[in-house]
Amino acid sequence: MGTESPRSSVEISEPLLNNTTLESQVEAIPEWKDQITLRGLIVSALLGTLFCIITHKLNLTVGIIPSLNVAAGLLGFFFVKSWTTFVNKLGFFVKPFTRQENTVIQTCVVACYGLAFSGGFGSYLLSMDERTYNLIGPDYPGNRAEDVKNPGLLWMMGFIFVVSFLGLFSLVPLRKVMVMEYKLTYPSGTATAMLINSFHTTTGAELARKQVSSLGKYLSISFVWSCFKWFFSGVGDACGFDNFPSLGLLLYKNTFYFDFSPTYVGCGLICPHIVNCSVLFGAIISWGFLWPYITTRAGDWYPADLGSNDFKGLYGYKVFVAIALILGDGLYNLIKIVTISVKAIWNNSTKQQNLPVTKEILDSETSELHAEQQKRDTVFLKDNIPTWFAASGYVVLVAISMATMPLIFPPLKWYLVLCSYIIAPALAFCNSYGCGLTDWSLASTYGKIGLFIIASLVGTNGGVLAGLAACGVMMSIVATAADLMQDFKTGYLTLSSAKSMFVSQLVGTAMGCIIAPLTFWMFWTAFEIGTPDSPYKAPYAIIYREMAILGVEGFSELPQHCLALCCGFFAAALVLNLVRDFAPAKVARFVPIPMAMAVPFYIGAYFAIDMFVGTVILFVWERINKKDAEDYAGAVASGLICGDGIWTIPSAILSILRVDPPICMYFGPSVVS
């Protein structure tokens, strides 16, 4: 699983949107086919590749993936605008770059890199491999060698092609209901639309130029710094700036140190303050108090002579307590969002109220805004996507999946695949509706539900492999359905055709089915993925396999007091969520998020320090110049993340060629003679 950081859910009103979209009334809106251009697809493929690499790196290291939608829209604007300006200066005529084409590029890029997350390359797919199997232990109850499937480029591409398109067809008939009738806000989609609209105005284009300049500067700094760090990283995992005991050797032993990672500092800049503080709080609880205390109980609670990666020892506590926090938070938010959705639908069926709608102002002074609203409705409904086409596409894809999934994963029988696809549209609707209300996609939670159900149904004879595959089916469908509906909202607000949005999602998904496995394969062949001492620990691979084993075997093999600790932290996750929802706002905003707290329990505290540095920088920046922070923080963060991500490519090539860094910078205590 990757944990996508939640964005703040704010109500966005029509005047804010129309300040930038009134100019579009004098623009000629291109036909849907003209909104999808060759140059746009080329840019989408390039940015999709870059963002897939970044997503894989984050997924394989810490599992926290910030939203890169803003960077996709910004870089899409920069590349195409630069190309059109350059060609115009040469005296050639080029088609104008419109907001609709910008929206298509952003949609295509997000669909592409989204598969690097929902494709399970750092979670359920990787948990099937032999390395994860050996890490848990061949003698561990329920961990069978028959439930191993090592990564393979061809079968991974086939699997993703089979499961990734169904979500796009599942909710297409409901686009008018979700976007126009329920008027769901989809805050990230609305914010992206505002950004794209602002780029295509005179003042917005100037700000965009400055943002791109800032992004480029920090991208260069990040790339050069990552290259510089490589020279001191030596052979092994104990050298270089990544192991710099910046807070002292004692804290370093408990993983508390700043490792000078531009990626994690960038994540801290782009994630909300509460997410970063929650991660640090989780690190302090686990590595500051809980694990050191449990270590003192070695020989009492668990055998003292166990290896550091033995699940019957401290390692088991780390994994299962993290699972408890994740499941508690996921279950609470699932029930909450389903309840909100059902209540909102019920209210909507009786009278239009109590929904976080986009407000319509209809008095005489805002008649132009009302006219713009009507124009959006007309454009959105103009290019219809027939219901029969969506239904037929879904049925055909289900039939293909029923035939191919058992070939890839023999324990997952065709009738289990069929059952999954029968209930998937309902879950996709719940996730899409909840995302529209709260801006939080719970795709991984729905995936875990599928994992537990199928694993328990299949049982000991292949239940682990079948459960992990079913997790991928559910996770892919509900994630792509929510992404599509959010893109429909963005297209609606930028006067883009619904058909061009759907086609660009299809094209972006097809790109992702090729690019995401290829970029993952670069990591797989260049680095030791999934080992505890590797920079690419793939923390959720272990967690997902253990979840599948729990679905089959139960809790009998947990270390002493581990189940009690798990129950306590599960309850704590529920209590924290209740306090966040029902306490006064001035109190609730300081309550940590359990899902974010869980990540350092297993991985370590070092990245929490980095992210906290990022959030402190942003906090001070906001106090000094709030307007500049709002305008440029996202660009700076994206530059830091992208620069470090780009360095991954030459780093991987050097690793494949067996070129080692020349220097090992190592720190140890001074020797007292």
Q: For residue 552, what are the CA distances in angstroms to 232, 416, 468?
A: 46, 16, 12
pLDDT tens digits along 126-150:
999 999 999 888 888 888 999 999 9
Give the model's pLDDT for residue 21: 43
Q: For residue 15, what are the CA distances in angstroms to 362, 492, 622?
A: 11, 15, 25
Give the model's pLDDT for residue 526: 87
pLDDT tens digits along 215-230:
888 888 988 998 998 8
CA 246 to chain centre: 30
Q: For residue 241, what are the CA distances in angstroms to 276, 642, 647?
A: 22, 19, 16
DSSP state of 64: E
Which tokens go with 290? 């809980």
pLDDT tens digits along 42-100:
999 999 999 999 889 888 887 767 677 777 888 888 889 888 888 888 888 888 889 99
Give the model's pLDDT for residue 22: 43
Single-letter amino acid code for the residue at 522: M
Helix (H, G, I), strand (E, B) or coil at 184: strand
Helix (H, G, I), strand (E, B) or coil at 233: strand
Look-up: residue for tokens 């620990």? 537
Which tokens go with 358? 């986009």
Q: What's the maximum distance between 2 C-alpha atoms anywhere in the chain?
A: 87
DSSP state of 7: P
Please state, in angstroms and rounded to a whole number, the distance separating the CA atoms of residues 600 and 330.
17
- With a cut of 80, say whether residue 108 has pLDDT above it: yes
Q: Under a CB-based contact definition with an 8 Å cutoff, are residues 199 and 374 in contact?
A: no
Which tokens go with 411? 């324990």
Which tokens go with 503? 């086609």
Mean pLDDT of the chain: 83
DSSP state of 6: P
Exposed / middle / buried, residue 582 (Cβ in 10 Å: 0-12, 13-18, 19+): exposed
Single-letter amino acid code for the residue at 297: R
CA 476 to chain centre: 12
Exposed / middle / buried, residue 261 (Cβ in 10 Å: 0-12, 13-18, 19+): buried
Q: Under a CB-based contact definition with an 8 Å cutoff, are residues 475 and 118 in contact?
A: yes
Q: Under a CB-based contact definition with an 8 Å cutoff, are residues 431 and 196 in contact?
A: no
Nearest partner of 120 among 90, 84, 69, 156, judged by Cα: 156
Helix and strand numbers (H, E) in the chain are 28, 2
